Amino acid sequence: MGSKQKILVGGVTIGGGAPPVIQSMCNTDTRDVPATVKQINALEEAGCQVVRLAIPDQEAAEAASAIRTQVRLPLVADIHFDYRLALAAVKSGVHKVRINPGNIGDKEKVRAVAECCKANGVPIRVGVNSGSIDRDLREKYGVTPEALCESALRNLAMLDECGFFDTCVSLKMSNVFSTIRAYRLMAARCDRPLHLGVTEAGGVHMGTLRSAAAFGALLCDGIGDTIRVSLTADPVQEIYAARDILKALDLHQSGARIVSCPTCGRTQIDLIPLAEAVEKRLEKLQTRLTVAVMGCVVNGPGEAREADIGIAGGRGEGVIIKKGEVLCRVPETELLPRLVEEIEKMTGETL
């Protein structure tokens, strides 16, 4: 799962087989320290593990120092064009720098950044996207996965030449299939940790769907070590979306996973409110558990077999199924309380 190589961002491991790390980016003015600190803490509360800050000028680079002392999350400095901002951000104690060496000018500037990061144990993300492909590659390939991959490899090579290998890579495009192809190309050509993202993904709903599709395709093949869901929205929404996507892929580390069947003409129980009630009632569960909510006697019992525990509906009544065995038959109104009772017994948690 993921790349064999890894980087360490603050205390967080990205790559080396670690579970996908959830990232976001502040949309506050970094120079506004209290607002940025407040947002970082809200992101952490939601489940964010690494957070990026825009560093558009020297003042922002210096603000990172004050921010760092007031938050727990590792910080990533987002730098464009000006290598001095990278040096200043590292001096401020950021835990990772995102910069494209191809954008910062001559080799001496790239070397200065690489040496500064190396001396401070700060990894670098090369973050290529459709808007930042080198002109010659864009002319040769167009805005394509191939162009992004070549552009990223070229940027990585600039750091490699400086003896700096503590890198990860992203290759974001706005089209889902192109994004998938870009990362597949990259994974085939180098083993650096990969930061997954779809760029300009859109608002909460469509942006989450685009990211779910891209991340699902890539993580299924073991491609990807950290994810960012880019949304035109409050960044806290990005964290909820990232968590939900990992849950949908059964990669999230805790809590109930509800599987429920679509309702159809065979359904003999009021399934929709029941499934919603089960989801709500188990919201706080910490233990990883698959819970089936089935409404039909045709597929229900068979499919609930894969779940740790489940209920399957009949005519106004239902059965509770545990690891494929029918535990008991109860009236419909008793299904939820008996399910919760059984889960509390299994997990030792109080729900």
Q: Which of residues 214 and 336 has its CB atom nearest to a second copy in the complex?
A: 214
| Closer Cβ to a second copy, 118 or 247, answer by number | 247
* 116/296 with CB nearer a second copy: 296
Q: Indicate the angle between helix axes 58-70 and 83-91, nearest 10 degrees.
A: 20
Q: How far apart are CB 189 and a second copy at their closest, in Å?
A: 19
Q: Give min distance, CB of 163 to a second copy, in A.
A: 29
Q: Round to whole Å and give the CA distance between 90 and 135.
A: 29
Cβ density class 322-340: b for 16+ within 10 Å, e for less: beeeebeebebeebbebbe
Which CB atom, from 57 or from 160, has the smaller least distance to a second copy?
57
Tokens (6 digits) for 266: 């065979």
- State which residue, 160 or 244, has the beta carbon closest to a second copy: 244
146, 6, 245, 50: CA torsion to nearest 10 = -110
Q: Based on CB atoms, which residue is closest to a second copy, 273 or 348? A: 273
Closest CA relative to residue 311, chosen from 265, 350, 234, 258: 258
Shortest CB 182 distance to a second copy, Å: 12
Distance between CA atoms of residues 309 and 29, nearest Å: 48
Non-local (6+) Cβ contacts of 236 within 8 A are: 24, 39, 42, 43, 46
The whole-angstrom separation of Cα 230 and Cα 287 is: 29
In the complex, least distance from residue 129 CB atom to a second copy, rounded to whole angstroms:
7
Angle subtended at Cα 309 by Cα 308 and Cα 313, rounded to the nearest 5 degrees: 145
At CA 36, angle to CA 31 and CA 37, rounded to 5?
120
